[in-house]
Amino acid sequence: MTRKITQRELRNESGDVMRALDAGEAFVVTRNGVAVGELTPLRRDHFATKASVVAAFANVPPIDLKKFRKSLETIIDQDSTPRG
């Protein structure tokens, strides 16, 4: 949820605001009761562990490489003629 804060709150409580941003909270900054800006946390990269990826694909059927290549060749134009 986005929390409204005044320009003065942002100035006086910037440390608290930064900690809240770091924790994922978003803010709308107001001046004289009018919204003038947004502060939103940056997205952080989340990496999947090897174990979670292996678990996610554990029940996937094996790929028939010949069929896979044939289907790719029908979609992708791989003209081997040199350019230029």
**Cα dihedral 30, 34, 36, 39 in deg (nearest 10):** 40
* Cβ-proximal residues to 65 (8 Å cutoff; 6+ apart), any chain: none
Output the domain CATH number for residue 26.
3.40.1620
Model-level pTM?
0.52
In a domain, 9, yes or no: yes
In a domain, 20, yes or no: yes
**How many independent structural domains does the chain possess?**
1
* Residue 21 lies in domain: 2-39
In a domain, 57, yes or no: no
Give pLDDT tens digits for 16-74. 999 999 999 999 999 999 999 999 999 877 888 999 999 999 999 999 999 998 888 88
